[in-house]
Chain A
Amino acid sequence: MDEKINVKEIQQKIYRDSMRDGVTEMITGALLLCASLMFVNSGFTVLYLFSMIYLNKGMQRIRERYIHPRTGYVELKREEPKRTVGGIFLFFFAVGLLMYAALYLTEGALPSSDALYRWTPTFIGLMFLGAMIYLREKTGSTGVLAWAAYAIAVGLVFSIYGFTSSKDGVTLYTMLMGVSFLLVGFYKFRSFLTTNPVMQETDEAGQQEVGETT
């Protein structure tokens, strides 16, 4: 070990590699589609809550079945839940408050529920910005910010466009974002499976077996 070790770079590469399989995008897409159903009918809220639990389990199953045999298994460092949740809520309230103040200033009165629904796509886009800045720090890849730019741009278009019902904008926005994430995730997942063959340990024999399976 005669060279300088950059621990942060190693950590970022591990995070980056763990995001290459497209599973995170597919699950995010599925969650957004479930959220869009919630906007269509509040009765779907239960479905959304269940999807948050079961999609996470589904993600673990997919990784166990398809990803770990190709990349090996790694348990990433656990983050302090208080700090992470605190950071998310702080960002959520800060953006929400700023948008509320901006609406108040432009309309000269307290924003109506219609106005709030109308600007929800932009708000969600800004939430994506927060998430992607966090991912940028974790992975060291600026490419993830493209998602934030896309989410904000689409959010602004949907907020500015005059839908007959203000709820339509946010419903269509979450649907479009969900489909976008699902498609990109599925494409990455397919590419990942074709470019990464299944590997197998045969430690007692002191050899490594590599072969293609499903």
Chain B
Amino acid sequence: MLAHLYVVESADFLFLMKQTGLTFGNLSSHMTRLEEAGYITVDKEFRDKKPNTRLSLTEAGRHAFEGYRENMKQLFKEL
């Protein structure tokens, strides 16, 4: 989910569900945890009387993801 938000400006809940293949409940719980950690911002609004949840990565989230990628690269090098 962070990887998808890393390469775009922002995306809504449906888009992330389609791209990641996660279920509504699963994605929702990831979203809550990432929001609590300060890695993403979540904006909820109504569009054409339908709920719409827009997500975007925060600077902290961007740094955390880049750190994770660096760690993974290092790990793969060492293997």
Judge if B60 is at the interface, Cβ distance under 8 Å. no
Sorting the interface of chain B by its residue count into under 10, 10 to 19, 20 to 34 or 35 or more gives 20 to 34
Closest B residue to A13 by beta carbon equals B19
Q: How far is the CB of A100 from chain B (nearest CB, A)?
A: 40
Task: Encode A47-78 as 1/0 by CB contact (under 8 A) with B.
Answer: 00000000000000000000010011111111
Contact present for A71 and B9 (CB under 8 Å)? no
Contact present for B3 and A72 (CB under 8 Å)? no
Sorting the interface of chain A by its residue count into under 10, 10 to 19, 20 to 34 or 35 or more gives 20 to 34
Of the residues A1, A77, A203, contact of B68 by C-beta under 8 Å: A1
Q: How far is the CB of A17 from chain B (nearest CB, A)?
A: 8
A7-B69 CB under 8 A given contacts A72-B13, A208-B17:
yes
Q: Which residues of A contact B25 (CB under 8 A)?
A: 206
Contact present for B72 and A4 (CB under 8 Å)? yes
A72-B7 CB under 8 A given contacts A7-B69, A201-B51, A208-B17:
no
Q: How far is the CB of A12 from chain B (nearest CB, A)?
A: 9
20 pairs across A/B with beta carbons < 8 Å?
A1-B68, A5-B3, A5-B72, A7-B3, A10-B3, A71-B18, A72-B14, A72-B15, A72-B16, A73-B15, A75-B9, A75-B10, A76-B9, A78-B9, A199-B18, A200-B50, A201-B53, A204-B51, A208-B17, A208-B24
Which positions in B face A, CB cutoff 8 Å? 3-4, 6-19, 23-25, 28, 44, 50-54, 68-69, 72, 76
Which positions in A face B, CB cutoff 8 Å? 1, 4-5, 7, 10-11, 13-14, 17, 68, 71-78, 199-204, 206-208
